[in-house]
């Protein structure tokens, strides 16, 4: 069992760790353009697309859960149909994004304050990169399908390939073609489109075996499509709550002062770094939970969940020790501003607590996604966001200041684990096994 978990978790961890490399290269290229406006343009453009594409992450999560259950029940026909439906939804969503690009841009730039020059460059970036949407969303579907089929290596190869291509194209467009932030956007479009073709190539061995099970009229089965969309709708709402919470955290940091914004941005990198590892085990949870629910093996389901939490506890303890002993050293790698590092010190203990408090949320998210128990995820996230996070913050805002914001964030992360734990008896272990 440990080998199965690690075989799924480790490739996803490797994939997650490579993601920041692309951002570092883009920032490095723009940082040598001679003006800060180019950095501002890709920062704003990237933020907008992070929100848009994060909102569509249900395509990966929903697809992995459904596929894992079909894999567990050996329903080969359904596993092929799930991928086709997911790609269909991804294409429909991307076409909608392209058709609505001007109203989306209008809303986005109304909400973001920047100089005229930065906004002009960010708009250029937006209107180029939006054409990567079809490839990006289809790659989400392919990634989720691979994970559901218990294959974490292909998504790793695909993600690393796309990131390497993106870096190569960025260098070509910036250094050779002498473009600016629009070159970064065009590099993303090119790498995503080639990445989609590569993803389809990686899926060929499966389709050679499974194409005989594909019945095209079944792709458009109304009941199956409705169920797929209902589950993904719940995951979408859950993800919107997550986006809202993180955006609210950043907004309140900015409203406090520039220093607090910089401090919280630095400290938030500790959460992101921990999440790269925790999400690896969450992906393993998606694949294995769905597999054993699909096969009706309650004994193996309980066993895999127990092992997942053992691994989750282990990495949480390791990260807690690292953050406790080396927190200042890590901050020194992120910035050489000693005054800023000193300003973070009163808040570092929140980061030390974060892995132990939050790891259960990551593991349970993977389990619930594998079980396609999306309503429980949606309902718990709505309650926690608007019944715990916001009330706690506004209750302690005046007395605790920035500490109150971090208290609300830790309660948000911890409550997710607590709520999903209490709901698991009925939602996961009481699941109607096939």
Residue 23: which pLDDT band, with cuts at 50, 70 and 90? low
The alpha helices in 176-221, defined as continuous H runs, are: 181-202, 204-210, 216-219
Location of structure tokens 């770094």:
273
Is the pLDDT confidence value at 432 over 70? no
Is the pLDDT confidence value at 433 over 70? no
Indicate the helix (H) or strand (E) that contains 367: helix 348-370
In whole numbers, what is the pLDDT of the chain averaged over residues?
87
Which of 252, 238, 273 is closest to 408 using CA atoms? Answer: 252
Is the pLDDT confidence value at 412 over 80? yes
Cα distance between residue 419 and residue 187, in whole Å: 42
pLDDT digits (tens, 9 = 90+) for 238-267: 999 998 998 888 888 877 877 787 788 788
The one-character DSSP state at 157 is H
Cα distance between residue 154 and residue 152, in whole Å: 6
pLDDT at residue 58 in the model: 86
Three-state DSSP state, 252: helix
User: CB of 372 within 8 A of CB of 290?
Assistant: yes
Radius of gyration of the chain (CA): 22
Structure-derived torsion over alpha carbons of residues 155, 157, 160, 164, reported in degrees to the nearest 10: -140
pLDDT digits (tens, 9 = 90+) for 322-341: 999 988 888 887 777 788 88
Residue 217 to residues 79, 138, 228, 312, 422, Cα–Cα distance (Å):
15, 21, 16, 42, 41
What is the percent of the chain with per-residue pLDDT over 70, rounded to a whole number? 94
Which has the higher per-residue pLDDT, 208 or 49? 49
Cα distance between residue 356 and residue 375, in whole Å: 26
Location of structure tokens 């409550």:
415
Is the pLDDT confidence value at 431 over 70? no
User: CB of 130 within 8 A of CB of 97?
Assistant: yes
């Amino acid at each position: 069992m440990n080998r199965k978990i690690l075989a799924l978790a480790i490739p996803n961890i490797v994939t997650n760790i490579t993601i920041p490399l692309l951002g570092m290269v883009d920032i490095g290229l723009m940082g040598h353009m001679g003006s800060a406006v180019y950095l501002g343009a890709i920062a704003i453009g990237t933020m907008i697309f992070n929100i848009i594409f994060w909102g569509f992450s249900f395509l990966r999560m929903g697809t992995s859960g459904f596929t894992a259950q079909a894999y567990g029940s050996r329903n080969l026909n359904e596993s092929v149909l799930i991928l086709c439906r997911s790609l269909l939804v991804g294409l429909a969503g991307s076409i909608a994004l392209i058709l609505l690009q001007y109203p989306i841009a209008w809303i986005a730039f109304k909400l973001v304050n920047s100089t005229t020059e930065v906004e002009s460059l960010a708009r250029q970036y937006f209107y180029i990169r939006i054409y990567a949407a079809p490839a990006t969303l289809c790659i989400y579907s392919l990634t989720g399908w691979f994970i559901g089929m218990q294959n974490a290596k292909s998504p790793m190869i695909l993600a690393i390939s796309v990131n390497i291509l993106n870096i190569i194209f960025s260098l070509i467009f910036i250094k050779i073609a002498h473009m600016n932030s629009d070159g970064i956007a065009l590099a993303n479009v090119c790498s995503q489109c080639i990445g989609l073709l590569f993803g389809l190539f990686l899926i060929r061995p499966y389709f050679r075996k499974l194409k005989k099970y594909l019945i095209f009229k079944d792709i458009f089965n109304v009941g199956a499509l409705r169920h797929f969309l209902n589950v993904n709708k719940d995951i979408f709402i859950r993800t919107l709550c997550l986006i809202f919470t993180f955006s609210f955290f950043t907004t309140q940091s900015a409203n406090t002062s520039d220093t607090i914004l910089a401090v919280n941005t630095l400290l938030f990198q500790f959460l992101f770094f921990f999440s790269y590892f925790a999400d690896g085990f969450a992906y393993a949870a998606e694949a294995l939970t769905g597999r054993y629910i699909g096969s009706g093996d309650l004994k193996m389901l309980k066993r895999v969940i127990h092992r997942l939490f053992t691994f989750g506890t282990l990495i949480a303890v390791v990260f807690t020790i690292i953050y406790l002993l080396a927190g200042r050293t890590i901050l020194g790698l992120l910035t050489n501003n000693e005054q800023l590092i000193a300003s973070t010190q009163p808040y570092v203990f929140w980061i030390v607590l974060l892995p132990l408090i939050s790891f259960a949320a990551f593991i349970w998210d993977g389990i619930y996604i594998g079980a396609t128990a999306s309503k429980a995820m949606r309902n718990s996230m709505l309650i926690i966001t608007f019944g715990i996070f916001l009330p706690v913050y506004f209750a302690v805002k005046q007395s605790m200041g920035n500490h109150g914001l971090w208290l609300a964030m830790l309660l948000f992360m911890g409550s997710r684990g607590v709520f999903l734990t209490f709901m698991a008896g009925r939602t996961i272990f009481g699941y109607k096994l096939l």
